[in-house]
Homo-oligomer: A and B are copies of this chain.
Amino acid sequence: MIGNAVFRHYFTGDTTLSALESLTDHVRQTAMLDSVQSLLYWDERTYLPALGGDFRADQITTLSSMLHQRRTDPRVGEWLSELSDDAQVADPHSDVGTLLRQVRREYEKQTKLPQRLVEEVARYSVTGQQAWVEARKSDDFSKLAPFLEKLLSLKREQADALGYPETRYDALLDEYEPNARTRTVRETLERLRQDLVPLVQTIQDANRSAPIDHLKGHFPTAAQSKFGRSTATSIGFDFQRGRLDVTEHPFCTELGPNDCRILTNYDESFFPSALFSTLHEAGHGMYEQGLRTDQYGLPAGQYVSLGIHESQSRLWENQVGRSHAFWEHFYPTTQQVFKSAFGNLSIDDFYFAINDVRPSLIRIEADEATYNLHIIIRFEIEQELINDELQVADLPGAWASKYQEYLGITPPNDADGVLQDIHWSGGDFGYFPTYSLGNLYAAQFFEAADDALAGVDSLMRRGEFQPLLEWLRENVHVHGQCYSPDELIERATHKPLSHEPLMRHLRAKLEPLYLQ
């Protein structure tokens, strides 16, 4: 009648289970505890009282420790070896084949990590993020520096314990983009950079200015929130199975098969900030909501990589949300809701303004073209940090000089410079390149969907987003980890990952705006 029968075996201590049933139960149970830990994180970044931080770190550390114990439980090794014949014959893309492959991968990694290291990483990730909030607020890098040093030394230890094929950074990258290699990512981003820099240069030389001042004004939080919710609903985010909340640094987290939470941040003086972050996080959320609930907690029902995850957020933010067709549908309402700002602004000027390209300080506010330069800066810096070629004390300086070199600007302070992102303070070194990979995947998926649907623009003009979402569900979401990111993109687009679709997308959008 009620509840979920999945854990029946576990609860009744049934001992007649096959190895496969036991392994499946164990993995699901671990995922459930993982989701409890995600709630601890979500709450920490939304509602935790000011003085609750220390104890929250204790709670998260405890859960991390328990999760690590479960993931390295010797029974997992026994079940896996009992099932190794099954693994040989199973279709690698089937649910069972995927379960055995991915659990083995995770088990082999986790058993290399000492319990103490796992707990220290968990603890310093929480306290580091708390320190980051303070450091950013007071524009004082020194409040974060000791946490970064500790986290870097822990992450180096982690990489060395895990081992790596070519370079220490490989081991960290693998946490976010499984099986990706630093060298390959570097080559791909280098090809992107070589095409991107001349395009940005041409745009700057063209000396045309988008009317971005029109995006500034007074946009009350309540009106933005209502508008953002309604837009997220229109594109397909299901609020029966999710929420939208407010936080310092927008993110998306999954707390259960029907509980996906996205978070944004309202700037009352600048319209695009919250709206595009809402579309972005809703894109993440719709990927989570498109995973198979019958496989919840198992690899076939989990996202495959952060690059693929980011492709879903960027596709809805950029290919959809910054398109002319999207605004042909939404702009009349937008004008009504924010009459004083947009009442007299034409859709073409609005469209130009939200696609303004110019070198800027803040990654999450960067345009589609220069965004990847922000990523390349971080990707280079974190490799140096992990390889001990750059000291934490020299980080603000390195940051400033790379911004000068790649974007021609220098941050006026650390809050808008090296302190702008939460990632490193949470121990997430190796995460940043997945953003650019996401941009590449997004452009390539969108081209294929556009083809298959005979033009997404005409659908968007009519406010029809369901066909695009369906295409993504069928080609990306429902597969969970049954295909690797490489396999997924080949299956969906019949080509390997390339930077060309993104360049085509950027040229098709920006050349008419700037060069005609």
Name A's B-contacting residues (CB within 8 A): 1-4, 6-7, 11-13, 29, 32-33, 35-36, 39-40, 43, 47-52, 54-59, 61-63, 65, 115-116, 119, 123-124, 127, 146, 239-243, 245, 255-261, 296
Contact = CB atoms under 8 A, between A and B. Distances in A.
B49 A11 contact: no
Contact of A63 (B4, B36, B55, B255): B36
30 contacts: A2-B54, A2-B57, A2-B124, A2-B127, A3-B61, A3-B127, A4-B55, A4-B57, A4-B58, A7-B61, A7-B62, A11-B115, A12-B116, A32-B62, A33-B62, A36-B36, A36-B40, A39-B39, A39-B43, A49-B239, A49-B241, A49-B242, A51-B240, A52-B256, A52-B258, A54-B258, A55-B257, A55-B296, A56-B259, A59-B256
Nearest to A29: B62
Given A3-B127, A55-B4, A61 B258 contact: no
Nearest to A46: B47
- A33, A35, A256, A296: residue with the most chain B Cβ atoms closer than 10 Å: A256
Contacts of A55: 4, 32, 35, 256-259, 296
Question: Among the interface residues A7, A11, A146, which one has the most CB atoms of the partner chain B within 10 A?
Answer: A11
Given A32-B58, A35-B59, A241-B52, A65 B2 contact: no
Given A3-B127, A39-B40, A116-B11, A241 B51 contact: yes
B51 A119 contact: no
A96 to B, nearest CB: 23
Contacts of A1: 146
Contacts of A245: 47
Contacts of A240: 49-51
A115 B3 CA distance: 17
Contacts of A11: 61, 65, 115-116, 119
A11 to B, nearest CB: 5
How many copies make up the complex?
A: 2
A316 B147 CA distance: 43
B59 A258 contact: no
A109 B56 CA distance: 29
B58 A259 contact: no
A326 B97 CA distance: 69
Nearest to A256: B55
Contacts of A259: 48-49, 51-52, 55-56
A502 to B, nearest CB: 34
Contacts of A12: 116
A511 B339 CA distance: 60
Contacts of A2: 54, 57, 123-124, 127
A25 to B, nearest CB: 12
Given A36-B62, A39-B39, 19 more contacts: A2-B54, A3-B58, A4-B54, A4-B55, A6-B58, A11-B119, A12-B116, A36-B36, A36-B63, A39-B40, A48-B259, A49-B240, A49-B259, A49-B260, A51-B241, A51-B258, A54-B258, A55-B257, A55-B296
Contacts of A257: 55
Contacts of A58: 3-4, 6-7, 32
Nearest to A36: B59
A28 to B, nearest CB: 9
A65 B57 CA distance: 23
A51 to B, nearest CB: 4
Nearest to A147: B2
A2 B13 CA distance: 40
Q: Which of the listed residues A29, A55, A296 has the most CB atoms from chain B within 10 Å of its own CB?
A: A55
A454 B12 CA distance: 60
A413 B136 CA distance: 55
A449 to B, nearest CB: 27
Most B CB contacts (10 A, CB to CB) among A49, A124, A260 go to A49
Contacts of A123: 2-3
Nearest to A293: B55
A395 B240 CA distance: 33
A57 B258 CA distance: 12
